[in-house]
Structure 1
Amino acid sequence: MKFTLSWLKEHLETEATLEEICERLTMIGLEVESVDDKAALKPFVIARVLTAEQHPDADKLRVLSVDTGDGQPLQVVCGAPNARAGLVGAFAKPGTYVPGIDTTIQVGKIRGVESFGMMCSERELQMSDEHSGIIDLPADAPVGTSFASYAGLDDPVIEINLTPNRPDCTSVYGIARDLAA
């Protein structure tokens, strides 16, 4: 059975950490199979494209100036068809691991133009199979803040193994009641 930490805390008044809750679940006989703490999405920030110029040596690439909220715009080479000035989306700085393409972003040159990061699609963040362009957020999305937090993707998912003798724990309410006891 899978449930999110926030869903559990709707039924359980506690200040316990994720690790403490998982340990306690195992102690009461509810074996924790896995925990997806969404750590892979924590480095991504919300960024705004300030300018989008045609790449001098490629028809399908654009050179973007991107505001990541730290005051210094970054130059990014992008091949997304929806890359345009004013677009707000998820940004990966150099050193960020992008799970959907199994790559760590590096500073590099793309057809002779330096690129200092990457604007990301939903597939690159493993949110869906959508890869037709950059994630397009509302214009009022807070630039420089965590994308995972903004999109509600930072809530850990806990998966437990239920045995047939524990029908009382086939609901989040039942699990919360058992933890509270």
Structure 2
Amino acid sequence: MKFTLSWLKEHLDTEASLTAILEGLTKVGLEVEGVEDPAEKLGAFRIARVLSAAPHPQADKLQILSVDPGEGEPLQIVCGAPNARAGLIGVLGQPGDYVPGLDVTLKI
């Protein structure tokens, strides 16, 4: 059976750590087969802000965005989203990042 830590804490009415809960379950005879952290798979993705958007000189349906990735220099990204505009905040995935659930690795 799989369930979330938040669900378990709600039904146990506890604020104990994951380690303490796992030890308690084992002590009462409930074997824990594994613990998964779905957020771990998204570690490469980050929140980014679009600084500017300009039309692509060679394609009507594309824009060239200047994007602040949160650390380091702004990135220049070609984007086909019609709603991309300065001030937009979104999730940034870069070439080489793995997208769980879709089983896709981003590439250029």
TM-score (normalised: structure 1): 0.47
**For the Cα contact (< 8 Å) 2:25–2:32, is it kept in 1?**
no
The unaligned stretches of length 5 or more in structure 2 are none
Give the equivalent residue in structure 2 for 1:98.
Answer: 99
Larger RCO (CA under 8 A, 6+ residues apart): 1
Question: Once the 2 structures are TM-superposed, how far is the Cα of residue 42 of structure 1 from its aligned partner?
Answer: 2.5
Structure 1 range deviating more: 62-71 or 9-18: 9-18
Percent of matched pairs sharing the same residue: 55
**Structure 2 residue 14 is matched with structure 1 residue 12:** yes
Please show how residues 1-181 of structure 1 align to structure 2 within 5 Å: 2-10=2-10, 11-17=13-19, 21=22, 24=25, 28-29=29-30, 36-38=36-38, 39-99=40-100, 101-106=102-107, 108=108
Runs of 4+ in structure 1 over 3 Å off: 22-25, 29-32
The unaligned stretches of length 5 or more in structure 1 are 109-181
User: What value does the CA root-mean-square deviation take over the aligned residues?
Assistant: 2.9
Separation (CA, whole Å) in 2 of partners of 1:104 and 1:70: 22
TM-score (normalised: structure 2): 0.72
Question: Once the 2 structures are TM-superposed, how far is the Cα of residue 72 of structure 1 from its aligned partner?
Answer: 0.6
Separation (CA, whole Å) in 1 of partners of 2:100 and 2:84: 21
How many residues are aligned here?
103
